[in-house]
Structure 1
Amino acid sequence: MQTRAELTELTRRLVSVPSHDDETAAGDEIESWLDEETDASVTRDDAGNVLARRGGTGPTLALVGHHDVVPPDPSQVVGGDPDDTTEYVVEERDGRLYGRGTADMKGAVAALMLAFRDADLSPGPGISTDPGATGDPAEVGAPELVFASFVGEEVGGEGVRAAIDDGFVPDFAVVGEGSTNYSKSGVTDVVVAHKGRRASTVVARGEACHASEPERGVNAVYRACDAVDALREMEPPEADLYGERLSGTMAVTGIDGGSAWNVVPERCEVTVDERTVPGKRLFLEGLEEADGIRVRTDQDLPPMACEDGAFADLALDAAREGQDGDPEFVTKPHATDAGWLAAAGTACVVCGPSEPGEAHTKTESVSVDVLERCYRIYRGAAERFPAEG
């Protein structure tokens, strides 16, 4: 019961602090708690990320979250004005905590923090230490446990990219984004792959003229429509990972062209949302073979696939031990900071309390029971790390 009470209180503490346009105060809360509750080395980088380290200097396992959130609904703000925010509303009803960031993802951050503090890092049989090591976790060769909470995840992974640029590339990571109720109700699964997102703009250029003599110009809208037809003919790629089929998608989400009803347009833009899969993507550049067409990439969030089967198995074992249900390897349709870490060389899995449909809503909530479950999973993964062999 003590863990439940701590989880509830810490989640409430983190969620109440606004962090949709400035993550500083939320980072302060995390940093001060880590300083008070652990003997870890706690740092804050220039981007605002909070990092804490404990254990040895051997292989590194990172427990990863983010403390920024999307803008709140007025009902989620004390006083009701998101533009004049000093505190978010946090309520507990029927075993759930309600408020902006409870599910995505300050509840998970609280569970990660407690697991980071409580994990027993005593070397186990799978740990390779130097000859003559005493068994103290600080020995060279003993694993290092890292807690990381990033800023800017909701706007494209700004925090994690800054950390990677500064040299933060752990060997392994458990990212606490949502994986609950994916395979079935009542379980928290282990995500071994997720899609990325590439946002592109197809720019069509023509030559303007008076619409009464359209043959004198080149209609950019027509060129854009030809490009849309070519897009519709493209088959989104697929990837098979751990027995799961991950399918990409593509959707044209906007078109903008023309300046007046009597002018043949000289420019038209088409926005494209593409969900990418590991190792494959649509060949949008092929559109540029047509006259007057250029493709601009506006955002490219990388997909993720766990490249270390033994680590994935370790995480699944921890998930099985941490709950009564039967968790499975699953895939996730949303991009996360795990994609950036995986691209940098970290073997990642995603596991967390958020359920499909909870994040970014005005009724956002998280189950306290599931927060406890995730705490057990995170702690179990840390205490199993590294696997025997």
Structure 2
Amino acid sequence: MSVVELTRDLVSIPSHEDETAAGDFVEAWLRRETDAEVRRDEAGNVIARKGTGADAETLALVGHHDVVEPAESQVVNAGDDAARTGDGATEYVVAERDGRLYGRGAADMKGALAAAMLAFRDATPAGELVFASFVGEEVGGVGARHAIESGFAPDYAVVGEGSTNYSGPDVTDVAVAHKGRRGSTITARGQAAHASEADAGENAIYRATAAVDLVRDLEPPSVKVAGERLDGRLTVTEIEGGSAMNVVPARCEFTVDERTVPGERAPLGRVEELEDVEWRVDQDLPPMRCDDRAFAEAVLAAADGAQDGEPELVTKPHATDAGWLAEAGTECVIYGPSEPGEAHTDDESVSIAVLERCRETYRRVAEEWPTAR
């Protein structure tokens, strides 16, 4: 089976609300095509192992089989309610043209998943080789967190998220760090009063705007990785407060999107030093940094041998499951076919040539690491 055929099969399976059918396919394929130990955990993750066990260092090829909701044009029978399943479609549209595969999940990240499945099957690993396809990556790393809590702890991991065309055109680079995301809600409370007697109350909007000013004045941390400066960022994104034009508001809240970097966090908790202001963290997706230079260089060498371009060590601006793995102690890098601006779009696509490149790189890494040191 070619990487194109396998990608087509994976992309056609709806998995934006229910990943079960896609997980069934991955599990059945691994059981049929490999002699690995394959299991499906309670969350729906598919995990397979082969190679030497016990004392061997472990390398994992990691992906996810959930996707974001497709556009109507990406769904077969999108207008036929009788044909729709619980996941909203009988199948997704997959098209091939101009050397690319088009369809929901082609770039993020069923193409990389297909490349990793084939590399896992074909490689004679240097140590213990693990394949893992997680659920719930698009909704905060649900599957990755479940696996880690259940003991999933590879020494090293190549996560197949996008790293193509970062340093230049037609190059698949090796990402050694990415930002995380912390989403917060900050709530200011006051005391309601009629606006004609405003001094009888305490204006929650005024307290909230004082907190906004404090957030604007905070200096987000930054870190230098692989010759690049990775800067944190704080952005106030929503604000809501008040009940009527003639009422002093008793409550006002706003949200903050924070892009975090490995190491320190911005001291957002300082807003609670203001009177009647509370801070709540709603989501915290961890950043990632690979601290094992030898591993990063080994993956870079494998990537270099699999393409004509000259890949580099780069950083990514957004969070992936690599953050959860790195937080748990796994040394991670990211290497995959998706290009900036390609994922989650209505005409999402992936280069077939780059899928082949990724398949070959994954195989090389599996056969050369950890003995490449």
Among 1, 7, 12, the residue aligned to 1:16: 12
What is the TM-score normalised by the length of structure 2?
0.96
Say yes or no: does 1:293 pair with 2:268.
Answer: no
1:45 is the counterpart of 2:52: no
Cα distance in 1 between the residues matched to 2:318 and 2:293: 21
Structure 1's 17 and 202: CA in aligned 2 closer, same or farther, altered over 3 A? same
Q: Does 1:90 align with 2:94?
A: yes
Indicate the residue corresponding to 2:57 in structure 1: 59
Residues 1:184 and 2:161 are matched in the alignment: no
After superposition, where does 1:266-305 map in structure 2 within 5 Å?
266-305=250-289
Deviation at 1:147, TM superposition (A): 0.2
Offset, 1:43: 0.3
Matches within 5 A, 1:168-179: 168-179=152-163
1:158 is aligned to 2:154: no
> How many angstroms does 1:183 deviate by?
0.6
Aligned partner of residue 207 in structure 2, secondary structure: helix
Show the counterpart of 1:140: none
Q: CA deviation at 1:20?
A: 0.3
1:186-228 CA-to-partner distances (Å, cap 9, x unmatched) read 1000000000000000111111111111111011111111111
Could you tell me which residue of structure 2 aligns to residue 193 of structure 1?
A: 177
Residues 195 and 303, structure 1, Cα contact 8 Å, conserved in 2: yes
Shift of 1:242: 2.4
Alignment root-mean-square deviation, CA: 1.0
Paired residues of 1:314 and 1:387 also in contact (CA < 8 A): no
Q: Report the counterpart of residue 74 of structure 1 in structure 2.
A: 72
8 Å contact from structure 1 (residues 108, 352) kept in 2: yes
The offset of 1:91, in angstroms, is 0.5
**Displacement of 1:84 after TM fit?**
3.3
Which of 259-268 and 191-200 deviates more? 259-268
Q: Give 1:357's aligned residue.
A: 341
Which residue identity does 1:180 align to in structure 2?
A: T
Separation in 2, partners of 1:287, 1:271:
13
Match of 1:137 in 2: none
Match of 1:324 among 308, 329, 333: 308
Whole-Å separation in 2 of the counterparts to 1:84 and 1:339: 30
Q: Give the distance between the partners of 1:65 and 1:266, measured in 2 at CA.
A: 46
Secondary structure of the equivalent of 1:315? helix
Aligned equivalent of 1:33: 29
Contact 2:303 2:361 in 1 (8 A): yes
Q: Which residue of 2 aligns with 1:126?
A: none
Cα contact 2:185–2:282 (8 A) shared by 1: yes
SS of the aligned residue for 1:268 comes to strand
2:198 equivalent in structure 1: 214
* Partner SS for 2:2: helix
Match among 320, 334, 355 for residue 371 of structure 1:
355
Q: 1:314 aligns with which of 298, 304, 313?
A: 298
Write out the 4+ residue segments of structure 1 that deviate beyond 4 Å after TM superposition.
Answer: none
Q: Distance in 1 between matches of 2:303 and 2:200?
A: 67
Q: Unpaired runs of 5+ in structure 2?
A: none
Per the TM alignment, residue 338 of structure 1 is displaced from its structure 2 partner at its CA by 0.2
SS of equivalent to 1:253: strand
Partner of 1:130: none
- Give the C-alpha shift of residue 162 in structure 1: 0.1
CA contact (8 A) 1:150 1:160 kept: yes
Residue 241 (structure 1) aligns with: 225
**CA distance in 2 between partners of 1:269 and 1:291 (Å):** 14
Post-superposition Cα deviations, 1:342-385, rounded to whole Å, max 9, x if no partner, equal 00000000000000000000010000000001111111111111
Whole-angstrom distance in 2 between the partners of 1:56 and 1:161:
26
Alignment partners' CA distance in 1, 2:347 and 2:205: 41
Specify the code of the residue in structure 2 equivalent to 1:69. Answer: V
CA distances 1:27-82 after superposition (whole Å, capped 9, x unpaired): 00000110111010100000000000000110000000000000010110011258
One-letter amino acid of the structure 2 residue matched with residue 230 of structure 1: L
* DSSP 3-state at the match of 1:159: helix
The yes-or-no answer on 1:104 pairing with 2:108 is: yes
The 8 Å contact of residues 91 and 98 in structure 1, kept in 2 or not, is answered as yes
> Secondary structure in 2 aligned to 1:212?
helix
Q: Following TM superposition, by how much is the alpha carbon of 1:259 offset from its aligned partner in structure 2, in angstroms?
A: 1.1
Residue range with higher mean Cα deviation, 73-82 or 165-174? 73-82
